[in-house]
Structure 1
Amino acid sequence: MTKIKDIELGEFPLLLAPMEDVSDPPFRAVCKAGGADLMYTEFVSSEGLIRDAFKSRQKLDIFEYERPIGIQLFGSDIETMAECARITSAVSPDLIDINYGCPVKQVACRGAGAALLQDIPKMVKMTEAVVKATHLPVTVKTRLGWDDSTRNVEEVAERLQDIGIEALTIHGRTRVQMYKGDADWNLIGKIKDNPRIRIPIFGNGDIDSPEKALEYKNRYGVDGIMIGRASIGYPWIFNEIKHFLKTGEKLEAPTIADRVDVCRKHVEFSVRWKGERLGIVEMRRHYASYFKGIDGAKAFRNRLVQVPTLSEVEEILQEIAATYDAVPA
């Protein structure tokens, strides 16, 4: 049984990655239904939360059916991060995660996210401040290092464990790599094999099939896997991996009707949570993924990203279902 402090996650948990502009409550809902064992919110700006910015506050919205759920924070100021941990604790997530892995310029070039990989002493102080500011378990997500000459995640793992984090997720790329090239899990496996490490180690990067999940589980010995981009438009991946790990057999691929049904639930939740205008606009980034690889679907996708109302979206989805009539994807 893999546990984060007292949170039981099962034998080999599958985690939904915190993804900006993706991992909102509507997306998390379909991933929970698809089998995700632990989910994280979009990452929340500590500076925005202190300013009481609406977008940052809204990211603290969590629902009982999502549990266990973690809220992820990022920032560059130690005291601000500690204060945000106190604010976040008040909404009662199951844990708080610190983002030391985001590579994008808007985050890293402001001294947050993966930038802290260039200043391990500050990372340690910030983490310790967050741990002391909350009664909740604190976890961390990070990368191998800033670049290939500074792959310092082994030091990070030991030092952050020593000051109280309860789990560590490692993305198998450096910050300089961004999302290019193949994820390197060798250091992740080495950290898991380190006799000093007693907290769960989760691997992240490039897991996009049940076969690869099983291969990496066996090869690197991690306690679980975090899945990000492969779940966008395909929340079935969690249950597909679970079934394959348990039986060695692959589940049937979702039919077009399945895709339409889950996409409809996603967009309806998006509209309920954000209002029709914003809910429709922000769903547009998902349609290509829901209907990826389906012959002739491009014309439908082009229409979906242009219509402004929920009723029009649902009409097009009904048309897709009728056109393909449950043909396997």
Structure 2
Amino acid sequence: MVKIEHITLPEFPLLLAPMEDVSDPPFRVVCKANGADLLYTEFISSEGLVGDSAKCRRKLDIFDEERPAGVQIFGGDEGRMAQASAIVDLTKPDFLDINFGCPVKGIVSQGAGSGVLKNLDLMTRLTAACVKATSLPVTVKTRLGWDEDSKNIEEVAERLQDVGIKALTIHGRTRCQMYKGEADWSLIAKVKNNPRIHIPIFGNGDIDSPQKAKEYKERFGVDGIMIGRAAIGYPWIFREVRHFLNTGQELPAPTVAERVAVCKQHLDKSLQWRGGQAGIYSMRRHYLTYLKGLPGIKEFRNRLVTLSDPEAIKSVLDEVLRKYEGFEMEKEPIQLIDYHENCPI
């Protein structure tokens, strides 16, 4: 078992990464149903929370079936981060996570996200302020460092543990790498093997198959792994990884019936959380990925993305199920999306 203070997780837990515009409650519920052990909200601005932004407040929502789940916040001001932590405390998630890893220029220019990696004293103060302001266990997600010349993750881990964090997730790239190149897990392993470190250390970066998950578990010795981009359009990655870790056997690709069922579940949760047309619009980007690999699916997708009635959408999904009944899906390599391909450094 892995413990984050009072939160008990299975051996070698699988975490769903917090991803802006992706990790909303409907998507998280789908991933939880398919084997994710620990979930995070999209990242939330501390400034927005303190300023009572409706959009930020809405991101605090967590469904009971998601738990254990935590709220992730970001910011560069100690007072605002403490106030935001106290607000999060009142909503009673299972933990509070601090984002020191987002590489987007707009966040970094605020002195937040991975921009804090250039000032470890500030990072330590921000973390301590959050720990003091909440009764929740506080965790952190970050990167190896700002650039190749400042990979300071070992010092970061020690300093943040000293001020009270209960777990640390490390993405194996620097900020300047964004999502380019290969994630370097060797430094994550150094943190895990540091005799001073006693909190769980989770690794993140480039996990796109059950085989790689098993290899990295054995090679780097982390306490668990966080999966992000590989889960977009493919929540089954979690159950496939767990099965492979337990048995050494690869599961077949999800059936057409499973894909349609997930589409419907995701749609229902989207309607429940967002309501009406907003829930329908938010689903339109998901149909192609869920139904990818079915020959001639474009015709159905074109209908799905133009319909505005939930029952009509479900009727088309039922058509898909009837048309492709018995069709054997082939296992295709997961393509990792570069979120910030065009983001200026």
Give the TM-score range, shorter chain: over 0.9
The letter of the residue matching 2:193 is D
Matches within 5 A, 1:243-282: 243-282=243-282
CA drift of 1:285 comes to 2.4
CA drift of 1:155 comes to 1.1
Structure-1 separation of matches of 2:186 and 2:298: 39
Contact 1:254 1:328 in 2 (8 A): no
Deviation digits for residues 235-269 of structure 1, max 9, x if unmatched?
Answer: 11111111111111122221111101101110111
Matches within 5 A, 1:72-83: 72-83=72-83
TM-score between both structures, scaled by the size of structure 1: 0.97
Count of matched residue positions in the alignment of Structure 1 and Structure 2? 329
- The aligned counterpart of 2:342 is none
CA drift of 1:94 comes to 0.9
The letter of the residue matching 2:176 is V
TM-score between both structures, scaled by the size of structure 2: 0.92
- The aligned counterpart of 1:129 is 129
SS in structure 1 opposite 2:191?
helix
Q: Which runs of 5+ in 1 are unaligned?
A: none
The letter of the residue matching 2:39 is M
Deviation digits for residues 151-207 of structure 1, max 9, x if unmatched?
Answer: 111111111011110000001111111112221111111111111111100001111
Q: Which runs of 5+ in 2 are unaligned?
A: 330-345
- The aligned counterpart of 1:298 is 298
Structure-1 separation of matches of 2:43 and 2:326: 37
Contact 1:117 1:123 in 2 (8 A): yes
Structure-1 separation of matches of 2:296 and 2:325: 14
Structure-2 separation of matches of 1:181 and 1:297: 33
Which has the higher mean CA deviation after the structures are superposed, 306-315 or 271-280? 306-315
CA drift of 1:122 comes to 0.4
Matches within 5 A, 1:26-105: 26-105=26-105
- The aligned counterpart of 1:118 is 118
SS in structure 2 opposite 1:202?
strand
Contact 1:17 1:228 in 2 (8 A): yes
Deviation digits for residues 203-227 of structure 1, max 9, x if unmatched?
Answer: 0111111111000000000000001
Contact 1:50 1:84 in 2 (8 A): yes
The letter of the residue matching 1:299 is E
Structure-1 separation of matches of 2:299 and 2:206: 29
CA drift of 1:140 comes to 0.1
- The aligned counterpart of 1:242 is 242
CA drift of 1:316 comes to 2.3
Structure-1 separation of matches of 2:232 and 2:308: 22
Which has the higher mean CA deviation after the structures are superposed, 232-241 or 161-170? 232-241
Query: Do structure 1's residue 208 and structure 2's residue 208 form an aligned pair?
Result: yes
Structure-1 separation of matches of 2:302 and 2:220: 42
Deviation digits for residues 4-54 of structure 1, max 9, x if unmatched?
Answer: 112110111001111111111111111111011111111111111111111
SS in structure 2 opposite 1:285?
coil
Structure-1 separation of matches of 2:9 and 2:141: 17
Structure-2 separation of matches of 1:230 and 1:328: 22
Query: Do structure 1's residue 7 and structure 2's residue 12 form an aligned pair?
Result: no
- The aligned counterpart of 2:16 is 16
SS in structure 2 opposite 1:73?
strand
CA drift of 1:138 comes to 0.3
The letter of the residue matching 1:90 is L
SS in structure 2 opposite 1:11?
coil
Structure-1 separation of matches of 2:181 and 2:285: 23
CA drift of 1:308 comes to 2.7
The letter of the residue matching 2:55 is K
Structure-2 separation of matches of 1:300 and 1:176: 41
Structure-2 separation of matches of 1:161 and 1:322: 54
Contact 1:260 1:321 in 2 (8 A): yes
- The aligned counterpart of 2:183 is 183
Structure-2 separation of matches of 1:109 and 1:287: 35
The letter of the residue matching 2:25 is P
Structure-2 separation of matches of 1:203 and 1:227: 9
CA RMSD of aligned residues (A): 1.3
Structure-2 separation of matches of 1:309 and 1:146: 47
- The aligned counterpart of 2:317 is 317
Structure-1 separation of matches of 2:297 and 2:217: 35
The letter of the residue matching 1:282 is S
